[in-house]
DNA sequence: CTGAAAGCGCTTACAG
DNA sequence: CTGAAAGCGCTTACAG
């Protein structure tokens, strides 16, 4: 391994000067500069990140915690992609933690051990002790997607309540009164809000969702399939189903397919997230799209501001609105 | 930030002793040990990773380069997941690079700058200069999924040629003689091999694939859809199509759906990878499944062995076989 | 069993 | 404009 000392010896300068050239310090004469640069080339020198980080107390790496990075029917992949892009254009690198909520201790540890300069959480829950501890310490942290009320850090989210309400209004405008929801009764804030928005929107139109059409569900394709079969098998069944995320909607649609129930003629289905598969002809799903790149951009901005200036004023919570994307599952013309 | 010095002061011992307790050194008396441990607790001490890495020349982090982590219709998500699991159980952490082949320089730089102890490539191509440079330097590197012939590093792959051949044989056994391939003419080794295996397998059965049924394609859903429309629109059309990955197959299936061509009655379709969506009723796709967790496990083993012992013998290339999963698109009973 | 000390490879005041 | 030196926070021989 070649160090700055090796380069210095080769270029016949002091080690300090090598460091200055590396950082484009203006106070280096042109000829020395060139000598050092050619020594860089000759040796293939790359500065040791640990030595640098130890001196500067800055690694240039941001940690990102996310569940289901690897499951593209969630919207996390899109969000992570966008965060990665924003970070890259700010010259920062990214470490990804993919173990779901259980990786929060890892993230906090990473901050405390100096492995990263700050962390963006996309899947924080109010239960995470580790996160709380980090926030109390005042470490640079930003929450996005899921929010925690009163958390001592910056947050950027979308308005999931309004998103759910958009779907309800669309169903009502389509003349539907027999409505069902799938998902949204668990602890995850975003999911709860979508469901609440939907129920509120329906209630505003004078429609109530029967309890048995609002069963608890986890957020998997299998759950969508199972609840879809259940909701659609009886004689008295809903004519429009709102699924709290696209993945559940795919399950419900496949259940309808299996039961030979025609969508959208006899059943409307809507999802949430607008993952890429939602637009495929096999599903062509009406869904709610969040402004993912805005979320990502603002999250990165917020974090970098804190990293650059630890005590930069009070914490902020910014919120974006979402957009209803109409497709074939609620009667729009197929693409 | 609390350092080992702070802990030492609090526990009334030397800083060296703190370090020993941290590493469970046997040569520490029990009472001192307890004193230090309680000082750890009181201060919330976490060792600085950079200082440690600088001394030990080991970070405990492995880099993984992969394209399309974030696109679950590729098999990378599964592979990454498996690699992550293997690394975790070996006490290693993982950094993920997701920018595709263009991130190879980043990976090499990360090795040279000491940011990671080694790198696993899942998407190497023979063109990557950066990778070659790293291999010449003898840095710990393992190639998995895609191989590079004669590369100066360990490799673990699956036998894509046999995989393609399995599909051809299955088509022939189904009585099909009008066969087509979608994908596999580009630079990516795995894709080329699958196509080659398929063509060879067909030829072994006396069947030749017409040139116009073997058009160039990139590896997107849209390409599958477009080529599907093209192959299936004419009067003389193939009765069985092998798609080089599942994503293309989904596009072809949706093209058939649009053209109202019945699968499997009038058309057989097979893919490659067995991504999760392939088993959904909407597709129920016959496909080839690779032993992903074996790949991952061996890749990690190989890398850690090199990291532990830089010159541990000659380079090795291990290869696993794959398995044909029969589903509805080639006539199996729906699940 | 414990401590003092060297040193990993940088960055950056401090002199000159 | 350049160099000598301090110091970031650890680990680990070396003494005792």
Angle of helix B15-22 relative to helix B4-11, nearest 10 degrees, comes to 110
Q: A281 and chain B: CB distance < 8 Å anywhere? A: yes
**pLDDT by residue (tens digit) across A129-179?**
767 777 777 788 999 988 888 888 999 999 999 999 999 999 999 999 999
DSSP 8-state symbol, A212: G
**pLDDT by residue (tens digit) across B193-209?**
999 999 999 999 999 99
Cβ of residue B32 lies below 7 Å from strand C: yes
Q: Quick one: A160 exposed, middle or buried, by C-beta within 10 A (0-12, 13-18, 19+)?
A: buried
* Interface mutation vs chain B, best among A22, A99, A112, most B CBs within 10 Å: A112
Q: Tell me which chain B residues have a C-beta less than 8 angstroms from the C-beta of A46.
A: 109, 112-113
**pLDDT by residue (tens digit) across B222-274?**
999 999 999 999 889 999 999 999 999 999 999 999 999 999 999 999 999 99
pLDDT, average across residues A174-199:
94
Q: How far is CA B182 from the centre of its chain?
A: 22
Which residue of chain A has the CA closest to B48?
A113
Instruction: Collect all residues with Cβ–Cβ distance below 8 Å to B324 and sequence separation of at least 6.
Output: B163, B166, B167, B170, B286, B287, B288, B289
Q: A279 and chain B: CB distance < 8 Å anywhere? A: no
How does DSSP assign A105-133, residue by residue? HHHHHHHHTTS-SEEEESS--TT-HHHHH
Position A95 scores a pLDDT of: 83
Alpha-carbon distance of B330 to B269, in angstroms, equals: 6
Alpha-carbon distance of A106 to A101, in angstroms, equals: 10
Is the pLDDT score of B177 beyond 70? yes
Average pLDDT of the residues of chain B: 89
CA of B236 to C1' of C6 (A): 81
Strand D neighbours (CB under 7 Å) are A 13-17, 20, 26-29, 31-33, 51, 54-55; B 1, 3-5, 15-16, 19-20, 22-23, 45, 47-48, 51-52, 54-56
Q: Looking at the partner chain, which of A59, A70, A93 has a beta carbon nearest the beta carbon of B80? A: A70
CB A172, CB A207: distance < 8 Å: yes
- Token pair in block for residue B287: 């496909």
What are the distances in angstroms from CA B297 to CA A60, B120, B189, B197? 31, 12, 22, 26
pLDDT, average across residues A178-194:
92
Which residue of chain A has the CA closest to B281?
A254
Is the pLDDT score of B275 beyond 60? yes
Which residue of chain A has the CA closest to B52?
A50
Cβ of residue A22 lies below 7 Å from strand C: yes
**A7: confidence class by pLDDT, cuts 50, 70, 90:** very high
More confident residue, A221 or B100: A221
Average pLDDT of the residues of chain A: 89
Query: Pairing mode, if any, of strands A93-97 and A61-65?
Result: parallel
pLDDT, average across residues B302-324:
88
CB A242, CB A202: distance < 8 Å: no
How does DSSP assign B202-231, residue by residue? HHHTT----GGGS----SSHHHHHHHHHHH
- Token pair in block for residue B72: 């679950």
CA of B240 to C1' of D13 (A): 70
Nucleotides of D under 7 A from a protein CB: 1-5, 7-13
Angle of helix A4-11 relative to helix A15-22, nearest 10 degrees, comes to 110
**A66: confidence class by pLDDT, cuts 50, 70, 90:** confident
**pLDDT by residue (tens digit) across A199-235?**
999 999 999 999 999 988 888 899 999 999 999 998 8
Q: B138 and chain A: CB distance < 8 Å anywhere? A: no
Which helix (H) or strand (E) segment holds residue B129: the answer is helix B129-136
Flag residues 87-126 of A with CB < 7 Å from strand C.
none
Query: Pairing mode, if any, of strands B287-289 and B323-325?
Result: antiparallel
pLDDT, average across residues B111-121:
89
Q: A29 and chain B: CB distance < 8 Å anywhere? A: no
**A16: confidence class by pLDDT, cuts 50, 70, 90:** very high
Query: Pairing mode, if any, of strands A323-325 and A287-289?
Result: antiparallel
Q: Looking at the partner chain, which of A50, A80, A283 has a beta carbon nearest the beta carbon of B70? A: A80
Alpha-carbon distance of B242 to B172, in angstroms, equals: 12
Q: Quick one: A21 exposed, middle or buried, by C-beta within 10 A (0-12, 13-18, 19+)?
A: buried
Neighbouring CB atoms inside 10 A of A273's CB total 28
Asked if B69's CB is within 8 angstroms of A72's CB, the reply is: no
Cβ of residue B29 lies below 7 Å from strand C: yes
Position A1 scores a pLDDT of: 81
Is the pLDDT score of B304 beyond 60? yes
Q: Tell me which chain A residues have a C-beta less than 8 angstroms from the C-beta of B106.
A: 93
Is the Cα torsion angle B183, B185, B186, B191 positive or negative in sign? positive
Alpha-carbon distance of A94 to B48, in angstroms, equals: 19
CA distance B271 to chain A (A): 16
Position A176 scores a pLDDT of: 98
Alpha-carbon distance of B191 to B186, in angstroms, equals: 8
**pLDDT by residue (tens digit) across B67-98?**
765 555 577 778 888 898 899 888 888 887 76
What is the percent of chain B with per-residue pLDDT over 90, rounded to a whole number?
A: 61
What are the distances in angstroms from CA B257 to CA A103, A262, B250, B260? 42, 15, 10, 5
* Longest Cα–Cα distance in chain B: 88
Is the pLDDT score of A279 beyond 80? yes
**pLDDT by residue (tens digit) across A17-32?**
999 999 988 889 999 9
Q: Looking at the partner chain, which of B50, B98, B113 has a beta carbon nearest the beta carbon of A54? A: B50
Is the pLDDT score of B100 beyond 60? no
* Interface mutation vs chain A, best among B46, B47, B50, B114, most A CBs within 10 Å: B50
Q: A80 and chain B: CB distance < 8 Å anywhere? A: yes
Position B227 scores a pLDDT of: 96
CB B45, CB B103: distance < 8 Å: no
Alpha-carbon distance of A260 to B258, in angstroms, equals: 18
Position A326 scores a pLDDT of: 98
Q: B91 and chain A: CB distance < 8 Å anywhere? A: no
Q: Looking at the partner chain, which of A48, A282, A283 has a beta carbon nearest the beta carbon of B113? A: A48
DSSP 8-state symbol, B286: B
More confident residue, B137 or A47: A47
């Amino acid at each position: 391994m070649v160090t700055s000392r090796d380069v210095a010896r080769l270029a016949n300068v002091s080690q300090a000067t090598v460091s200055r050239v590396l950082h484009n310090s203006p106070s280096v004469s042109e000829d020395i500069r060139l000598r050092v640069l050619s020594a860089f080339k000759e040796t293939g020198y790359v500065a040791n990140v640990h030595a640098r980080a130890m001196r500067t107390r800055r690694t240039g790496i941001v940690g990102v915690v996310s569940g289901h990075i690897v499951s593209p029917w969630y919207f996390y992949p899109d969000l992570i992609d966008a965060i990665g892009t924003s970070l890259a254009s700010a010259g920062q690198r990214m470490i990804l933690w993919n173990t779901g909520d259980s990786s929060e201790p890892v993230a906090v540890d990473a901050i405390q051990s100096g492995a990263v300069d700050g962390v963006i959480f996309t899947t924080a829950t109010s239960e995470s002790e580790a996160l709380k501890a980090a926030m109390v310490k005042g470490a640079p942290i930003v929450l996005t997607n899921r929010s925690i009320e009163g958390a001592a850090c910056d947050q950027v989210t979308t308005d999931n309540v309004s998103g759910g309400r958009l779907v309800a209004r669309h169903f009502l405008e389509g003349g539907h009164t027999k409505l069902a929801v799938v998902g949204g009764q668990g602890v995850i804030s975003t999911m709860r809000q979508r469901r609440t928005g939907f129920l509120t929107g329906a209630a505003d139109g004078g429609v109530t969702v029967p309890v048995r059409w609002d069963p608890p569900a986890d957020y998997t394709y299998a759950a969508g399939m199972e609840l879809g079969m259940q909701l659609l098998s009886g004689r008295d069944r809903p004519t429009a189903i709102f699924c709290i995320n696209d993945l559940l909607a795919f399950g419900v649609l496949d259940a309808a397919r299996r039961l030979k129930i025609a969508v959208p003629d006899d059943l409307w289905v809507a999802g949430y997230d607008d993952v890429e598969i939602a637009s495929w002809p096999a599903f062509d799903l009406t869904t709610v799209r969040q402004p993912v790149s805005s979320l990502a951009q603002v999250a990165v901005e917020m974090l970098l501001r804190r990293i650059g200036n630890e005590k930069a004023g009070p914490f902020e919570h910014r919120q974006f609105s979402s957009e209803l994307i109409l497709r074939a599952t609620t009667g729009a013309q197929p693409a």
